[in-house]
Every structure is written in structure tokens, then in C-alpha cells.
Amino acid sequence: EQDGGKLSEAGLELLTGGRELAGKLDTRLGAILLGSNVEALGKTLIAHGADEVFLADAEILAVYATLPYAKVVSAVIEQEAPEIVLFGATLLGRDLAPRVASRLRTGLTADCTALKIGNYTDPKTKQEHTNLLYQIRPAFGGNIIATIVTPNHRPQMATVREGVMRLGEPDESRTGIITNVDVSLDGRDNVVEIIERVKAEKAVNLKGAPVIVTGGAGVGSKAGFELLRELAGLLGGEVGATRAAVDLGFIGHDHQVGQTGTTVRPRLYIACGVSGAIQHQAGMAESSKIIAINTDPKAPIFQIAHYGIVGDMFEVVPMMIEAYRSKE
Ligand code: FAD
């Protein structure tokens, strides 16, 4: 996935995850690249793990539009007949993947949190299927983790949210091939005319932040978040929030961490007044170090925290700020 000649991290992360899957299946990893004048990006895709890049380069593909993209991607898949196709669960991927799946008459599991290769025996027919894609994701409001398989249709398709897979280091010495895809689209393939594009840049870069200071419902108010902003600023980090804090109007949704927010894995995650619900943990449990501050010693966040402080965050956070300040 690219926009204006810039590759999205979601796509590059899929190449890291895809390489592992391809390794397990002892097969090749391809990438489909669509756009206008984007050939140079093919090399980056190869450096990130693609063996072959299917390049659809045409003026009509310069800006994403559902119908032309779906047609081109479906045609490549029909021709190459891959076992597995992955999309980033980005705005673009969420629009495109279901279109492609329905064109190809196959299934699609959205927002997977893990992908693995495994076997499956159909409980009714007793038919054994080997090397299927386990499409793993929370279901029923996060109360269960479901493993979904597509035994009878191909390709097996899934979307994966940005940040769920690790972004691997590019290896510039990798070699691969770039294959041009024939783009034969006419007016009927694009019934939407884009008159203007207005892009709102994200004000918060949670994913790239080395330190995140997150507040939950326990912060109590919009003003309470100012304290967390001070600590985050001091540590060169960003402010995160739970869904409860967002729903209570303490802070904007851009800051939400979790299953329906951003998935993060910073070096340091400080959770203040956060209970640690499973849906919140889904977005931050991979953080390198977690410090939790909560008045309730039984709060689930303490089960995954490396350092737990049982106390009132309005007493503890000012002490942390003072301690860091004194070291400046
Ligand atoms: P609470 O659970 O109310 O916890 C507040 C905590 O603050 C308590 O543990 C309390 O002891 C502590 N506290 C209170 N006062 C203080 C104080 N002065 N000092 C220190 N501690 C104090 N949630 C997310 O976060 N992200 C998501 O993406 C997300 N997606 C969801 C998706 C679905 C489908 C569903 C059903 C839910 C989702 N949720 C998500 C909501 C999630 O289930 C929880 O409701 C939410 O995470 C709770 O937020 P909280 O920890 O801020 O609030």
C-alpha cells in the first residue's frame, strides 16, 4: 500500500509476517504494488522480504479508488493463484479486501492479531487439511480468541491491523523480480471521479513513540490528562488513552490504545488509572516495559506490568515528574 509514493508501514509489516509464513510453507512471497510512477518502490518491497513484486503502474491507479484497484488485484490473484493473501487493516485495506474476497468467492477474516500455519480436520467430513492459515482474532467483544480457517476456498485472506506485526529491518542485498501487470481498465471500471483530496495529518504518532503515558477512566477529567502530558513531554513520549477515557470525552480517539485503537509496542508504557481490560491489553501487552499505577491492587493491569505501583496517580505521577526533573 502506498499513498503519494510513500509506502505504508502496514504493508511493510505484512511482508515481515508474510516472510515467516512463506518460510513455513516453503514457498515464495509476492507483493502487489499499485499506483502511478511507483516502480522505484518495488526495490523497497524486495528489501522487506518480497521475492516478486507485481507492479500495476498506471495513471488511473494514482489515487486509490475501489473498483479499479479491486479489479487489478483480483486479476493478479486469479493469475498467480496464491495460497494466502494479506491486506493491512487500514482505511484502504478495509475497503479493498472485502471487494476482492467477494469477487474471488472466498472468505476474509478482518483484524487478525496473529497468523499461523496449522492443520485442521473437518469435524463433519473428517477430511484433513494440512498447512492452513490460522486466522486468529478476538471475537465476541474480546471475550474469546477465535481461530478461523478457510479450508475449501482459495486464497485464504486476512487483514491485519498496523502495528500487530513487527516492522522488519530492510535488507538491501535481497534480490527479487519486478513483474509488470497489464492494467486494462476503461471508463466503466471507474465510476467515481475524485474531485479533491483533503488529507488530515494525524496529530498523534502513538506507533512511533518510544514512551507512552496512558490515562484511563481513573484520570477523572480532561484536566487530569494535563499531568500525563507533562510526564510524557518530559520523557519524549506521547499520551495514550483507554477507550473509557476517550468515551468520557477526556481526550480524542487518536490517542486510543487497544483493540479498536492503535496497537503499540513502545520501550516504556506507563498506564495510569487503567484497569487493564483485555481489549486494552490487546494493543499494548507487547510493550518492552510496563509500569502500572492504580489504586486497586487487584486491577488486571498488574498481571502484565513489569513494575506495579499501588497508589493514587495524582500522588504518584507528580513524584515521577519531580524525580525525572531533578535528573535533567
Ligand atoms: P476502568 O475499567 O473503569 O478502570 C479505571 C481504573 O482506574 C480502575 O482500575 C481504578 O482502580 C483506577 N483508578 C481510579 N482512580 C484512580 C486514581 N486516582 N489513581 C490510580 N488509579 C485509579 N478499551 C481500550 O482501552 N481500548 C480499546 O481499543 C477497546 N476496544 C474495545 C472493543 C470492544 C469490542 C469492547 C467491548 C471494549 C473495548 N474496550 C477498549 C473497552 C474495555 O473493555 C474497557 O472498558 C476499557 O479499557 C476500560 O478503560 P479504563 O481502564 O480506563 O477504565
Residue pLDDT, tens place only, 257-267: 998 899 999 99
Quick check: CB of 206 below 6 Å from ligand 1?
Answer: no
Segment 33-50, tens digit of pLDDT: 999 999 999 999 999 999
Angle at 112 between CA 247 and CA 87, to 5 degrees: 105
Quick check: CB of 224 below 6 Å from ligand 1?
Answer: no
Ligand 1 atom having least distance to the Cα of 215: 52
Query: What is the average pLDDT across 322-326?
Result: 93
56: nearest Cα among 81, 33, 29, 87 = 33
Quick check: CB of 142 below 6 Å from ligand 1?
Answer: yes
Average pLDDT score over the chain = 95
User: In this structure, which residue's CA is closest to atom 33 in ligand 1?
Assistant: 141
Query: What is the average pLDDT across 70-93?
Result: 97
How far is residue 238's CA from residue 100's CA, in Å, rounded to a whole number?
37
What's the CA-to-centroid distance between 129 and ligand 1, angstroms? 40
Instruction: Flag whether pLDDT at 234 surpasses 90.
Output: yes
Radius of gyration of the chain (CA): 22
pLDDT of residue 185: 87
How far is residue 167's CA from residue 49's CA, in Å, rounded to a whole number?
11
Quick check: CB of 312 below 6 Å from ligand 1?
Answer: yes
Contact present, 87 and 95 (Cβ < 8 Å): no
Instruction: Flag whether pLDDT at 77 surpasses 80.
Output: yes
What's the CA-to-centroid distance between 294 and ligand 1, angstroms? 11
How far is residue 25's CA from residue 13's CA, in Å, rounded to a whole number?
19
Nearest-10 crossing angle of helices 66-80, 91-104: 50
Ligand 1 atom having least distance to the Cα of 141: 34
How far is residue 211's CA from residue 82's CA, in Å, rounded to a whole number?
39
Quick check: CB of 82 below 6 Å from ligand 1?
Answer: no
Instruction: Flag whether pLDDT at 67 surpasses 90.
Output: yes
What SS3 class is residue 171? coil
How far is residue 132's CA from residue 258's CA, in Å, rounded to a whole number?
28
Residue bearing cell 497468523: 115
Instruction: Flag whether pLDDT at 123 surpasses 90.
Output: yes
Ligand 1 atom having least distance to the Cα of 274: 51
Contact present, 80 and 86 (Cβ < 8 Å): no
Output phi, psi for 139, to 5 deg.
Answer: -135, 170
pTM of the model: 0.79
How far is residue 299's CA from residue 292's CA, in Å, rounded to a whole number?
10
Quick check: CB of 2 below 6 Å from ligand 1?
Answer: no
Output phi, psi for 111, to 5 deg.
Answer: 55, 45
pLDDT of residue 192: 86
Q: What is the 3-state secondary structure (H, E, C) of 33-44?
A: EEECCCCCHHHH
Contact present, 219 and 278 (Cβ < 8 Å): no
pLDDT of residue 198: 87
Read off the pLDDT band of 224 (50, 70, 90). very high
What SS3 class is residue 105? coil
Quick check: CB of 17 below 6 Å from ligand 1?
Answer: no
How far is residue 315's CA from residue 272's CA, in Å, rounded to a whole number?
11
Contact present, 306 and 272 (Cβ < 8 Å): no
304: nearest Cα among 285, 280, 323, 277 = 285
Quick check: CB of 244 below 6 Å from ligand 1?
Answer: yes
Over pLDDT 70: what percentage of the chain?
100
Quick check: CB of 218 below 6 Å from ligand 1?
Answer: yes
Query: Is the bond into 155 cis (omega within 30 degrees of 0)?
Result: yes
Instruction: Flag whether pLDDT at 328 surpasses 80.
Output: no
DSSP assignment of 110-160: EEESEEEEEEEE-TTT--EEEEEEEEEEEETTTTEEEEE---SSSSEEEEE
Quick check: CB of 295 below 6 Å from ligand 1?
Answer: yes
Segment 17-29, tens digit of pLDDT: 999 999 999 999 9
Tell me which of 17-21, 26-30, 101-105, 186-190 is least confident. 186-190
Mutate to test the pocket of ligand 1, among 269, 295, 304, 320 (most ligand atoms within 8 A of CB): 295
Quick check: CB of 156 below 6 Å from ligand 1?
Answer: no
Query: What is the average pLDDT across 313-324?
Result: 97
Mutate to test the pocket of ligand 1, among 212, 279, 319 (most ligand atoms within 8 A of CB): 279
Ligand 1 atom having least distance to the Cα of 314: 18
Quick check: CB of 256 below 6 Å from ligand 1?
Answer: yes
Instruction: Flag whether pLDDT at 112 surpasses 90.
Output: yes
225: nearest Cα among 317, 125, 159, 110 = 317
pLDDT of residue 143: 79
